[in-house]
Amino acid sequence: MTLFAFYLAVVVLGILSMGFQMLGSRLLSPHFGSAIDVWACLISTFLAAFSIGSMLGGWISNLAPHARRRGQWACAVAAVAALALTALWGRALVSAIEIGVASSGLAVLLSCVALFFVPVTALSTFSPQCVQFLAARGMPPGKASGLVYGVSTLGNIAGVMLTTFVLISHFRVSTLLYLWLAVAVVCLAALVWLLRPLSTAP
């Protein structure tokens, strides 16, 4: 049961990350269009967040148990707070950047970083910790790593397809941003609980 919940949380984490990218494109589109230059900034921001989040998560997973818990809580709170910021004031923020920054390329990049970098970085910190979770239960690290990133990538695919072909065609982007926030709260709460130190884990 614990393992089922664990893998489900990893899949949902993948859905949240890449589905958010598709939502992000719709958030930027009214201000900057949806041409290849906008996508370049959007994808680069997400990749940078994945990269830094993975390194930060790897570092957190190696901390002493109490410090690790603090790190997990901090990342979960940062992800939820940043998703809430995007849902509540995302459009206003992009509008302000569009008006305030003369260079459109810079404005797109700033908007991407302001809206997407923190939540995606914070979400990404949990993947290395999920690897640690399996490794701590005796799974060889290579196998654990392959399994977590494989399952998470399946979640990424599901996130892209579900968001693009089902959600965006039926719901408002603002509604979906609140849905992302709600799902993130549940998913991260589950992960923080699952990733607690082994001595207190079931």
Partner 1 sequence: MKLLSAPCLVLALAGAAFAADAAGDFTERHDTIYNSLTIEKRGPIVEMRARARGSEALESAIDTRDPMLPIVHYIKTVYGALFIHPEPKRMLMVGLGGAGFHHLFTAAFPDTLLHTIELDPKVLELTGQHMGFKPGPKTPVTIMDGRMFIKRNREQWDWLMLDAYRGGFVPPHLKTEEFYRECAARLTDRGIFISNLHATTELYYSDLKTIQAVFPQIVIFETAGRGNVIVVGVKYRDPIITDPAKWADPDSLMKPVFQGRVDLKLVRAEHSRLPLNRMRAGKILTDDFAPVEFLDALKANNADEPRAKK
Applying CB under 8 A, the residues found at the interface with partner 1 are 26, 29-37, 91, 98, 104, 168-174
SS3 at position 201: coil
Residue 29 CB, nearest approach to partner 1 (Å): 4
- From the list 126, 131, 97, 132, the residue with the least C-alpha distance to 114 is 97
Separation CA 98–CA 105 (nearest Å): 10
**Among residues 34 and 44, whose Cβ is nearest to partner 1?**
34
**Among residues 100 and 202, whose Cβ is nearest to partner 1?**
100
**Among residues 29 and 153, whose Cβ is nearest to partner 1?**
29
Task: Tell me how many helices (H) and strands (E) the chain has.
Answer: 9, 0
Are 171 and 27 in contact by the 8 Å Cβ rule? The answer is no
**Among residues 173 and 181, whose Cβ is nearest to partner 1?**
173
| Chain centroid offset of residue 118 CA | 9
Residue 162 CB, nearest approach to partner 1 (Å): 14
Q: Helix/strand/coil (H, E, C) string of 86-129?
A: HHHHHHHHHHHHHHHCCCHHHHHHHHHHHHHHHHHHHHHCHHHH
Residue 82 CB, nearest approach to partner 1 (Å): 20
Residue 171 CB, nearest approach to partner 1 (Å): 7
Residue 99 CB, nearest approach to partner 1 (Å): 8
**Among residues 35 and 74, whose Cβ is nearest to partner 1?**
35
Which amino acid does the sequence have at 30? P
Largest interatomic CA distance in the chain:
56
**Among residues 169 and 199, whose Cβ is nearest to partner 1?**
169
Structure tokens at 119: 């939540």
Residue 179 CB, nearest approach to partner 1 (Å): 14
